[in-house]
Structures are given as structure tokens and as C-alpha cells.
Amino acid sequence: GQTLADFHSKMGGCASCHGTNAVTAASVPDDEHALNAQCQTCHGSYKDIRKTGTEIDPHHSHLGDINCTSCHTAHARPKLVCNDCHTFPNKMPFADAPEAAPKVSPDEAAIEAAMKAEPRESYDVVVIGAGSAGFNAAIAAKRAGASVLLLEKNSFSGGNSMLAAGGYNAVGTKQQKAKGITDTVEAYVEDTLKGGRGKNDRALVEILAKESAAGVEWLEGMGADLSEVKRSGGARVDRTHRPTGGETVGPHIVKTLRAQAEKDGVPARLNSRAVRLIVDENHTVRGVVVEGKHSGLYRVNAKAVVLAAGGYGQNKEMVAFYRPTFKGMTSSNNVTSTGDGVRMALEAGASMTDIDWIQAHPTVGKGSRILISETVRGVGAVMVNETGARFVNELTTRDRASDAILKQPGRHAWLVFDADLYAKAKMVRGYDHLGMLKKADTIEGLAKAAGMDPKVLEKTLADYNAYRAKGHDDAFGRPDMPLAVAKAPFYAVEVAPGIHHTMGGVAVTTESEVLDIQSRPMPGLYAAGEVTGGVHGFNRLGGNAVADTVVFGRRAGEHAAKYALEQ
């Protein structure tokens, strides 16, 4: 079959996509911005081509305005990136084109050669990974006066942050004050330490809490909407901030950061994988070897490098090695969470903190990779087992909730809620759109649709509603019961635990410096976000990952810039 490129070349030659310059590896920009602009000149923007019906439309997704070429690969068979997580049946044009040749990883000799070659470019700060931590670091470093390159291996930016659903934990915000919520830095710290079973690095947690509200303001200053505040598991008060209407937080923040980075002159360079940190004999960082999708291996010199490459939740070998009991478990993470940052840091001589601590999120859609956000429980859903009985405080910490589900028959559970919750939590409409919900006009009907015992489910919900009315959950001590489950139609979604966050990672100081195996800072090497260990201890609280990426992303960028500008 012909490719998209064959088709276009018949219309206007290579110039129809590439312009009139000769196409060479060096002339094709790694980020494909120019190509994508060209696609949109003829076909219109995503908004122009968006469908309005109820069908799944990849041009209107939580990934936002990503590059057309992420899916419409011109010289080989196209690939719907949505299907990295979903199983949409969408038919792609040129679906019969030949498959791309399998990617060959660069060998050691080629990497060594690139390390010795003349640098293609030089920057004060190179940031690896364009998720929330990386974007925050790049913007902060740029604003501090450094020249900055932001690298992203994927064909679109956002990383795992793109899939963050629940929200951003912050204390002392104007949103909390407006709702009359009494909260303190100490309470945030204590909740986080309790959730982490006291294994967290307290100094890092204190920074997280103290700088959390400033991080919200920093994002708001870029146009973000974090106006709603709700409860997450393990928190004593409502401190999880998110966009109005319960919209998912990750895509919103990524969209905001993407636009700001573009505006500030630090857009992510896409399709550009960092493969090796260049460090000298004194463990001082000198640069990075990059593998461009089109331009191959090249060296970039840097006075400082910020590792913001995310966790390893999608690296099955690393999961099986560090946590054998989670071997083969599904993961809610983006396919980009492959542990590259941890690997590069280890190769460079960094030390690790709690590298084997992995979090299973209790509610990943059964048999899928779709996270059913903690928000759904926070807003009011009740969790029952396959008979229809409750078995745990729905707002306990994730490790406890996951353990409790794995002890139930079939090692799964159901979240049950009603029309009021459906109206309040916008993300639930997304699950409905994906066909993940059972729905019925009566509780009996819902129980039958989900294979539960109707009598058991009816009694469970009647008891729950009575506990709510009197303000005390006699059965499991759930601290917050915002909604009854009383208004038809009723809904249920089947869930089971899945890998969600790798709490361990690169060991860092409070100034985001990476430590070597003798616990000495490695000059010029900084890290932030899920690639690091220490902040979350044994178990991360919902809402603390986004806070981590913003607070420590900013700090890493600022410290890296300061260091670089002093060299």
C-alpha cells in the first residue's frame, strides 16, 4: 500500500510537506513543528476538523493539540497514539502502508563517538523530559536568565503528567480561604508523612508543603484554572486543587505550560531522546548525548542538566526486578514512563532513594489502562466488592485501599454512584464516553448489570446514606461523605489496582542536586518529579505528584540556572 508521503509527493513532490529546501537529516527539525504547520495549512487546525457527534474523535482528546505526525507518520504505516492506552477501532488513512523498520537502539560505540564529537549546540541548562516537572524547570531556568534546551523523546509533550487526573495539593491558597477551609503547612506535612508511613525525607516534604500555594499562583499566572478544591485520600481537609467542573488536571496544566514555554522561547524539542549524561571524572556534568528521530546521535554541551524524565511504571523489567509481586500488573502510566532517567543517572554514578517503592493505584478500570480517578471517590462514590458489600474506607491511602481490593473475591471492586455525582465530576462523562460504566434506573437493576446481589447492594447503599445523614460512617470510618447515592440513574465502574507511581528514584538534596553514591552533590546535575525519590516515602498521597512536579520542577530549574550562570 502507498504511504501518506507517496500520496502527497504525487501532488507537489516532497516540497508539499517539506518546503523547497533539500531534505537531509540535519534539515528536518526534530520537533517536526514545520511539518505540522504545513499539515494544518491545507487541512485546518484540530478545531476545524473536529467532529461534533458522540463518536471517539482523536482530534478532540485529552492530549490537546499534539503534532499531526504523532499519528500520521508519512513514510510508514500510521499509528493511532490513543491506542497506546485505549482500543479504539478508528480506521486511519493509509492503514495499509508498510510498517516502519523496527527501531535499533544506538550501540555503545555510536554513543561513545557522539560523546567525543564536536557539540552540535551548547546551553546553560538542558532539561530532559517535557512533562510538568520538565516544563516548570525549563520555564524557571529561562526566567532566571539561562539559555535552555528542553528535550522530549516522545512525538508530543506532556509525559505522564498528561494523564494526571485528580489535582494539585496545596495549602493556604485563596481557594481554600474562600471555602473557609482551615489548613496549615504542618497538617499537610503530617498527612504526607503519615501517608508515606514516615519513610519520606521530611525536609523535602516541608518544602513541598511550604511552596505549594506559590506553585498554584505561578500556574495561575500562566492562565491555569485551579479553582475547585476537593478531598483526596489521606488528607484531613480539602486541599486538592483542580479546574472548574472537575476537569482532569494533567492535560489542563500541560496545555498551560506548553503554551507558556512556547511564549517564553523554550518549546519542547520533540522526538529527541537523551541517551547518555556526559559527566567528567569529578562527576561534573558536561552535557548530554541526544538521539534525534531524524538527525541521529549528537552531543549537546550543558553547564547544568535537569533530569525530569519521569518514573519507570511502564518498564516491565524494572517493575519485576524492583517489586516482583507487581510483575505483569497493568499500569495507568503513559508509555513514556520507561525509567530512562533512572538508568542514565545510575550510569552517571548517582545514588538512589527507595528505588523499589512502587504505588498501585486502587482504581484502574478493570482490564484497561484507564485510571478511574480518586476524585470519583472524593466527590462521593462508594466502593463495593462483587457481592455489593463495602469493605474499606474509600478515602484511605492507596496502599491500604489496593491491599483491601486484592483481598476481595476476584481481586476487583466496583465504584457505585448516582446522577448527582455524574453531574458534578466531569471526568465521569469521559468514562461513560469510553463505555466503561454500567447504568440502571434502579439499584436493583444496577446490581444485576454488574453481577452483584441486588439485596446486598440495596442494603449497603441504604446503610451508607444513613451514615451520611448522621455524619458518621459506623462501618469503616470514612471521613467525608459529600453525596448520598440516591438519585437515579445509578452507575457502576469496575476497578482493580494498577501501577501508578514509582516513589523511589534519584537521591536529591533540598536544592534538587543529584547525589552520587557517596552522597555528594554531582556538580551541575539536578532532578525533579517522579524520577526522584524521597518526597513521597512508602506511599504517595493523591494530589502530591502534581505538587511535586511544580514545586520541585521550579526549584530544580532555578538552582540549575544559578549554578550554570556562575560557571
Question: The cell 482504581 sits on which residue?
Answer: 363
**Vertex 532, ends 531 and 538: CA angle to 5°?**
110
- Smallest distance, Å, CB 68 to ligand MEZ? 29
- Smallest distance, Å, CB 165 to ligand MEZ? 4
Cell numbers placing 19 = 518546503
Count CA atoms closer than 13 A to 244's CA, side-chain side: 2
Q: Which residues contact 142 (CB under 8 A, 6 or more apart)?
A: 148, 264, 265, 266, 557, 561
Q: Which residues contact 354 (CB under 8 A, 6 or more apart)?
A: 199, 503, 504, 505, 533, 534, 537, 538
- Smallest distance, Å, CB 565 to ligand MEZ? 34
- Smallest distance, Å, CB 542 to ligand MEZ? 3
**Can you spell out the DSSP letters for 511-541?**
T-EEEBTTS-EEEEEEE-GGGB-SSSTTSPP
Containing H/E element for 122?
Answer: strand 121-128
Name the residue nearer to ligand MEZ (CB basis): 69 or 232: 232
Give the distance, in angstroms, between the CA of residue 2 and the centroid of all CA atoms in the same chain.
Answer: 36
Cell numbers placing 55 = 463518536
Count CA atoms closer than 13 A to 320's CA, side-chain side: 5
- Smallest distance, Å, CB 482 to ligand MEZ? 16
Name the residue nearer to ligand MEZ (CB basis): 153 or 230: 230
Name the residue nearer to ligand MEZ (CB basis): 374 or 558: 374
468 is catalytic: no
Name the residue nearer to ligand MEZ (CB basis): 326 or 563: 326
Name the residue nearer to ligand MEZ (CB basis): 3 or 240: 240
- Smallest distance, Å, CB 243 to ligand MEZ? 13
For residues 135 and 157, the answer to whether their CB atoms sit within 8 Å is yes
Q: Whole-angstrom Cα distance, residue 183 to residue 324?
A: 39
Name the residue nearer to ligand MEZ (CB basis): 4 or 379: 379
Name the residue nearer to ligand MEZ (CB basis): 292 or 378: 378
Cell numbers placing 129 = 523530559
Name the residue nearer to ligand MEZ (CB basis): 167 or 380: 167
SS3 274: strand
**Can you spell out the DSSP letters for 146-158?**
--EEEE-SSSSS-
Q: Whole-angstrom Cα distance, residue 327 to residue 330?
A: 9
In the bound state, the residue with its beta carbon closest to ligand MEZ is 166
Contact positions toward ligand MEZ, by CB under 6 A? 165-167, 232, 371, 373-375, 542-543, 545
For residues 468 and 484, the answer to whether their CB atoms sit within 8 Å is yes
Name the residue nearer to ligand MEZ (CB basis): 443 or 493: 493
Q: Whole-angstrom Cα distance, residue 457 to residue 515?
A: 53
Cell numbers placing 254 = 500541560
For residues 159 and 334, the answer to whether their CB atoms sit within 8 Å is yes
Candidate list 258, 276, 398, 478, residue with the active-site label = 398
Q: Whole-angstrom Cα distance, residue 505 to residue 309?
A: 11
Name the residue nearer to ligand MEZ (CB basis): 341 or 542: 542
- Smallest distance, Å, CB 429 to ligand MEZ? 15
For residues 297 and 275, the answer to whether their CB atoms sit within 8 Å is yes
- Smallest distance, Å, CB 480 to ligand MEZ? 15
- Smallest distance, Å, CB 337 to ligand MEZ? 13
Bridge-based pairing of strands 358-365 and 490-502 is antiparallel
- Smallest distance, Å, CB 399 to ligand MEZ? 13
Q: Whole-angstrom Cα distance, residue 313 to residue 96?
A: 32
Q: Whole-angstrom Cα distance, residue 10 to residue 174?
A: 58
Backbone dihedral angles phi then psi of residue 407, each to the nearest 5 degrees = -95, -5
Other C-beta atoms lying within 10 Å of the C-beta of residue 393? 19
Q: Which active-site residues does the annotation give?
A: 398
